[in-house]
Every structure is written in C-alpha cells, then in structure tokens.
C-alpha cells in the first residue's frame, strides 16, 4: 500500500518568505508527527497530532512555526518569515493509535532558506 | 529531559562480518522504549528493532540484535553477516512510556566494505 507522502521533496526559499510543507499519512492512521532533522543531527520532535488536534506541540521552536490537520488526515507545517537556521529536512510520520504502534516515516522535505 | 548519545559518528565493516553500534541514554524513568532506526539516502527512517525496558530478554530481528543493559543505560545494536544494503545512518531513539515523541541520538554512519 501507499506509504507516507511528503511534498515537495525539496523546497528552496528566500529568507523572510512563508512556506508550507505537506504530509499525506497512511490511510487510517490517526497519529501524525512532524520532526526536523538538521544537517548531521538526529531528528528533533516538533509536534504530534491525534486526529485533528495537536496533542503535543512542545517541540515547535517559536511562533513562526504552526501546523494543522483540519480533517484528521493531511497535515501542513507552516513556517512564517523563514530564517536561514530553518534549513533542514522536515520529516513526517504516522501510526495507528497505540503507544507501541510503529511509526511510518515519509521521505521528508528538504528546506533550504537562502 | 532524556538524552540519547551515540559516540561513534562513523563505523565501517567488511561484508559478511559483524559490527556493533553503541548507544547510551540518560533517564530517571523506569519504564520506556528504545529503538534503532535506519536512514538510507532516501531519508526515510526505517524501524530496525525495538526493546521494551521492562523486558530482560534482548530483542532480535533476523540479523539484528540488541544488547540492552538497563543499569548501565546502554543499548547497542549488533548487525551480523553485514550486507551492502545495511549501509546507512543508524539512529538510536528513546520514548517514555505514555509519551508519543521520540528522542533521537546524533546517528552513526555505517559503511559496508565489499
């Protein structure tokens, strides 16, 4: 079956611009996660959705970052007034409900802010 | 806050040989989960193996096994009969019981020499 799909695969934007990154989870998966992976580092947690609501957004670095999942399926990560330090790979993952349910990751979006 | 440390930025092994990747973590919790993920150049994080902290028996998945030392807070991954397809970044990760987010280490780049 189809896996987690993230679009675009790569995004180049200028400092100060607004960007949206999209994640299509596996059908039926209620949990959705966003992680950010800077060059040479492990992924860092940003936000977790259970259904439509953000159950844990403690990883969002500041108020320039926002994520939505209005219908409990597709999610969009929004970054305002981008900075060069936002350059990273943004990974999305989904899982069925349950603490031990394995996470299924997408291939990520590589964001470059020039 | 929990931290995960991978002290080996790079490792290499001859094809068909055995290699061990190290991981230590810091936590005050008694119940948690530990994971090893593989990240090939496609950027997709793939679950390799999982260990529940309450289980004394080390997890095994085919050629992959772990050495879980709870008192020492150590969680190493052993790959037996290394194959060219094992070449990737490997990340150790921690998850608290009842929490959803993963805390990742910095990663180890594994090279397989033919």
Q: Give yes or no for B44 touching A (CB within 8 A).
A: yes
- Chain B CB within 8 Å of residue A59 CB: yes
Looking at residue A99, what is its pLDDT? 61
Q: Compute the radius of gyration of chain A from its Cα atoms.
A: 13
pLDDT value for A97: 75
Q: Two tokens at A96?
A: 């069925």
Min Cα separation B93/chain A (Å): 9
Phi and psi dihedrals of B86, rounded to 5?
A: -80, -15
Query: In tens digits, what is the pLDDT along chain B, a chain of 114 residues?
Result: 889 999 999 999 999 999 999 999 999 999 999 999 999 999 999 999 999 999 989 999 999 999 999 999 999 999 999 999 999 999 999 999 888 899 999 999 999 999
CB contact under 8 A, B33 and A100: yes
Give the Cα separation of B70 and A24 in Å (integer): 37
Between strands B108-113 and B10-14, the pairing is parallel
Contact in structure between B104 and B4 (CB atoms under 8 Å)? yes
Cis peptide before B5 (omega within 30 of 0): no
Mean pLDDT computed over A81-100? 91
Our CA-based measurement puts residue B61 at a distance from the nearest CA of chain A, in whole angstroms, of 15
Nearest partner of A66 among A49, A50, A78, A54, judged by Cα = A78
Per-residue pLDDT tens for A15-70?
A: 999 999 999 999 999 999 999 999 999 999 999 999 999 999 999 999 999 999 99
Q: What percent of chain A has pLDDT over 70?
A: 96
Q: Is the pLDDT of residue A13 over 70?
A: yes
Rounded to a whole number of angstroms, the distance between the first and last alpha carbons of chain A is 37
pLDDT at B99: 85
Q: What is the pLDDT of residue B98?
A: 81
**Alpha-carbon separation of residue B97 from A69, A95, B54, B108 (angstroms):** 25, 16, 11, 25
What HEC string does chain A produce? CCCCEEECCEEEECCCCCEEEEEECCCCCCEEEEEEECCCCCCEEEEEEECCEEEECCCCCCCCEEEECCCCCCEEEEECCCCHHHCEEEEEEEECCCCCCCCEECCCEEEEEC
For residue B67, what pLDDT is reported?
Answer: 97
Write down the pLDDT at residue B9. Answer: 97
Please report where in the chains the tokens 């209620």 appear, as a residue.
A30
Nearest residue on chain B to A101, judged by CA atoms? B100
Residue A80 has which token pair? 């305002």
- Contact (CB<8Å) A102/B50: yes
CA distances from A46 to A37, A58, A105, B61 (A): 10, 7, 14, 30
Sorting pLDDT into bands at 50, 70 and 90, what band is A98?
A: low
Which residue matches tokens 């397989």?
Answer: B112
- CB contacts of A3 in chain B (<8 Å) are 44
> Closest Cα of chain A to B84: distance in Å?
21
For position A1, what pLDDT does the model report? 55
Cβ of residue A30 closer than 8 Å to a chain B Cβ: no
Q: Residues B12, B15, B20, B23: is their CA dihedral positive or negative? A: positive
Q: How far apart are CA A68 and CA A23, in angstroms?
A: 10
């Amino acid at each position: 079956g189809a896996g987690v799909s993230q679009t675009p695969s790569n995004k180049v934007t200028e400092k100060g611009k607004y960007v949206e990154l999209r994640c299509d989870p596996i059908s039926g998966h209620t949990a959705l996660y966003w992680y950010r992976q800077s060059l040479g580092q492990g992924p860092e947690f940003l936000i977790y959705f259970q259904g439509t609501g953000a159950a844990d957004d403690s990883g969002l670095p500041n108020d320039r970052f926002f994520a939505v999942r209005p219908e409990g399926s597709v999610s969009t990560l929004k970054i305002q007034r981008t900075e060069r330090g936002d350059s990273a790979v943004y990974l999305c993952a989904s899982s069925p409900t349950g603490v031990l349910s394995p996470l299924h990751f997408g291939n990520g979006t590589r964001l470059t802010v020039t | 806050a929990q931290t995960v440390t991978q002290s080996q930025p790079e490792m290499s092994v001859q094809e068909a040989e055995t290699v061990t990747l190290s991981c230590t973590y810091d936590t005050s919790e008694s119940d948690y989960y530990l994971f090893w993920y593989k990240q090939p150049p496609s950027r997709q994080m793939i679950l390799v193996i999982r260990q529940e902290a309450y289980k004394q028996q080390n997890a095994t998945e085919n050629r992959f096994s772990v050495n879980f030392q709870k008192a020492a807070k150590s969680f190493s991954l052993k790959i037996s009969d290394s194959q060219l397809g094992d070449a990737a970044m490997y990340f150790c990760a921690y998850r608290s019981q009842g929490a959803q987010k993963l805390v990742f280490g910095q990663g180890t780049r594994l090279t397989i020499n033919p």
